[in-house]
Chain A
Amino acid sequence: MVREEQSIHSPVHTGEAVHHGHSHGASSQHAGGHHLLQVEHLSIGFRMYEPDAAFFSAQQRSYQVISDLSISVHAGEIVAVVGASGSGKTLLADSIMGLFEPNAEVTGSIWFDGVEQTPESLASLRGSGISLVPQSVDHLNPLLRVGKQVEGVGRTRGRRAESDVREAASEARSARVQELFERYGLSPEVAKLYPHELSGGMARRVLLCCALMDNPRLIVADEPTPGLDLDLAVRALDDFRAFANEGGGVMLITHDIELALRVADRVAVFKDGTIIEETSVEAFNSPDTLKHPFAKALWHALPEHGFRSGAAC
């Protein structure tokens, strides 16, 4: 195949079509002829002492937590990144947000909506282009009422707007909060609560509202349903499904393969710091359509009844 052809896709792929090392789901779209998000050759390393060497002669060396990882998210789909807890998935999420650990070494390229991003441009995409939905209510300021936090601040950074302009902007933001609260079934009183007063379901919706404030196109959700059993978790992710159906992209980071197969269009298997297989959910119907031995092993480990074939969603 010629390189130019690789980058231009037909609007809709079929499950069998493979390019960029992945196959596609039914709803995967290449709006504008490119991926919504494309991560190529991402590596993240830290320097630390060799743990096995003698105390004083131990040398520092670089440990790769993520190495040569590539993944894509299309418009209109949910991609689940499945991997063991504590294997570095959150680092992947942070890197896409342009948030890097101070002592980490990060290489690779990240493309958003067809444009290669720099750390600065990734920073400016936060919230408005790419939004993060964190794991729990711990990610909210415990000392500030929920409504204020969802409202956040607009992007008037550095510029001194006229006071009436700012006022209008702030009014628009509180209107947006009301709109989001209404849409996600949160009563206006919730805005006056403190984070520790929220129930689990409210907290999840509040966090989603935070992410949606500035109309992002991609949502990165880092374990958004901790502690929920499968059926509840699937229902909790309906809102993400709706977001994808409206043309957004969702990267769902989870350790739960069953959940991933139930709600996602495509699944990326994360192991030993990289994505070893990125494929459509349908490919998990049979081990023969999976390429990597670990993915096959994963298939065999699935409880047979928990697996619905051809989860179209």
Chain B
Amino acid sequence: MPSAISRTAPPAVAAAPAVLHQPQRRRVANRQALLASLVCAVVLLAIVVVAGRFVLYDVAVATDFSQKNLAPSLQHLFGTDWMGRDMFARTVAGLSLSILVGLLAAAVSSVLALVLASIAALGGRRADAVVTWLVDLFMGIPHIVLLILISYACGKGFWGVTIAVAVTHWPNLTRVLRAEIMQCRESLFVGHARKLGQGSIAIAVRHMLPFVFPQYLVGLILLFPHAIMHEAAITFLGFGLPVDVPAIGVILSESMAYLSAGMWWLAAFPGLALIATVMLFDLAGSSLRKLIDPHSTQE
């Protein structure tokens, strides 16, 4: 087969080599962009908190019966409700409340998780068994039921819902951190440090903290979205923030009576705004995770 033979000859002079495979994603997450998105998310959330707390709060509770039941327009971006309150102002005020509850509750919850995880991982077998059992117990009751119970036990209201969210969100993070600390304790570098005669506090601070802290930080930020959503859910059910406060849960719960009258904007926009807020927190968390993940050097 002469033709086959002539085809077999590789080109004597290598021109541009034939491409066998192209990288699937040319655009790769780069660190500056991740940092920028982290900063943007945090700044946006801060703006919402400040605006909702200090600028728009009075507007959010001001009634104007000449302006009631208006569909969204340029004047009232999210429309108005049956008392003529501006839904945009109410939404922003509600978000700022949600974020505050979320921050507070997530912070407390994450500290709880860190403490319990440390006790479990470093406190011996019995302590570990107790913490593990506590985790199982808390995970054994459906989250919402537990939230209802705790919020009810604390007398509902701002503190009720904050405490409820704070004391129900630690089990997952506790599990993660416990495994992390245990792995760290068993690791070779900690073993070597111990053999070199370093004290346990020195080991904890110098070798384990830098290892566990990033995990903790990411866990903390990823707790916010859950905390915010559960605050809204509990308030929606009537166990959270009181009805005279412009909270997202209250807004959505009140909207139900007016949905059949076609006032869809009462539910649609506050909900979308809540989703956007939760996603901003998710974005911040995942950006941070990618930044501190050592595997991200090779994307």
In the complex, A touching B (Cβ < 8 A): yes
Q: Report whether B297 and A51 are in contact in the complex, using a CB–CB cutoff of 8 Å.
A: yes
CB distance from B32 to the nearest CB of A (A): 6
Which residues of B from 271 to 299 have beta carbons under 8 Å from A? 297-299
Q: Report whether A100 and B21 are in contact in the complex, using a CB–CB cutoff of 8 Å.
A: yes
Chain A residues, Cβ within 8 Å of B24 = 102-103
List 25 A-B residue pairs with CB atoms under 8 Å apart, sorted by A's residue number.
A7-B5, A7-B8, A7-B9, A34-B5, A34-B8, A38-B10, A47-B28, A47-B299, A49-B31, A51-B297, A58-B31, A60-B299, A104-B23, A106-B20, A107-B19, A107-B20, A108-B20, A109-B10, A109-B17, A110-B20, A111-B8, A115-B4, A115-B7, A116-B18, A119-B20
Chain A residues, Cβ within 8 Å of B8 = 7, 33-34, 111, 114-115
Give the complex CA separation of A33 and B12 in angstroms: 17
Chain B residues, Cβ within 8 Å of A103 = 23-25, 28, 299
The yes or no answer to A16 lying at the interface (CB within 8 A) is: no
Query: Chain A 46-65 against B: per-residue CB contact (8 Å), 1 yes, 0 no?
Result: 11110100011010100000
What residues of chain B have their CB less than 8 Å away from a CB belonging to chain A? 1, 4-10, 12, 14, 17-25, 28, 30-32, 35, 297-299
Q: How many residues of A contact B (CB 8 A)?
A: 38
Q: Which residue of A lies closest to B31 (CB)?
A: A56
The yes or no answer to A40 lying at the interface (CB within 8 A) is: yes
Contacts A106-B19, A110-B20, A115-B8 aside, 17 further interface pairs with beta carbons under 8 A come to A3-B9, A7-B9, A8-B5, A33-B8, A41-B17, A43-B17, A46-B298, A48-B297, A55-B31, A95-B20, A102-B24, A103-B23, A105-B19, A105-B23, A106-B21, A107-B20, A114-B7
What residues of chain A have their CB less than 8 Å away from a CB belonging to chain B? 3-4, 6-8, 32-34, 38, 40-43, 46-49, 51, 55-56, 58, 60, 95, 100, 102-111, 114-116, 119
Q: Which residue of B lies closest to A39 (CB)?
A: B10
Q: Which residue of A lies closest to B4 (CB)?
A: A114
Give the complex CA separation of A252 and B8 in angstroms: 24
Give the complex CA separation of A105 and B18 in angstroms: 11
Give the complex CA separation of A138 and B102 in angstroms: 46
Chain A residues, Cβ within 8 Å of B1 = 32
Chain B residues, Cβ within 8 Å of A55 = 31
Q: Which residue of A lies closest to B25 (CB)?
A: A103
Q: Which residue of B lies closest to A7 (CB)?
A: B9
Chain A residues, Cβ within 8 Å of B35 = 56
Give the complex CA separation of A38 and B11 in angstroms: 12
Q: Report whether A114 and B21 are in contact in the complex, using a CB–CB cutoff of 8 Å.
A: no
How many A-B residue contacts, CB cutoff 8 Å?
90
Q: Report whether A107 and B9 are in contact in the complex, using a CB–CB cutoff of 8 Å.
A: no
A56-B32, A60-B28, A60-B30 known; A105-B5 Cβ under 8 A: no
Give the complex CA separation of A233 and B28 in angstroms: 44
Cβ 8 A contact of B298, one of A32, A41, A48, A115: A48
Chain A residues, Cβ within 8 Å of B18 = 107-109, 116
Chain B residues, Cβ within 8 Å of A33 = 5, 8
CB distance from B21 to the nearest CB of A (A): 4
Give the complex CA separation of A109 and B28 in angstroms: 27
Give the complex CA separation of A291 and B138 in angstroms: 71
CB distance from A14 to the nearest CB of B (A): 22
Q: Report whether A107 and B17 are in contact in the complex, using a CB–CB cutoff of 8 Å.
A: yes
Cβ 8 A contact of B10, one of A4, A40, A105: A40
Give the complex CA separation of A248 and B86 in angstroms: 81
Q: Report whether B6 and A4 are in contact in the complex, using a CB–CB cutoff of 8 Å.
A: yes
Cβ 8 A contact of A104, one of B7, B21, B30: B21
Chain B residues, Cβ within 8 Å of A51 = 297
CB distance from B293 to the nearest CB of A (A): 12
Chain B residues, Cβ within 8 Å of A46 = 298
A47-B299, A114-B7 known; A41-B31 Cβ under 8 A: no
Cβ 8 A contact of A3, one of B12, B21, B25, B28: B12
CB distance from B183 to the nearest CB of A (A): 23
Chain A residues, Cβ within 8 Å of B22 = 105
Chain A residues, Cβ within 8 Å of B6 = 4, 7
Give the complex CA separation of A7 and B31 in angstroms: 50
Chain B residues, Cβ within 8 Å of A7 = 5-6, 8-9
Q: Report whether A108 and B17 are in contact in the complex, using a CB–CB cutoff of 8 Å.
A: yes
Chain A residues, Cβ within 8 Å of B17 = 41, 43, 107-109
Give the complex CA separation of A49 and B28 in angstroms: 11
Give the complex CA separation of A169 and B32 in angstroms: 57
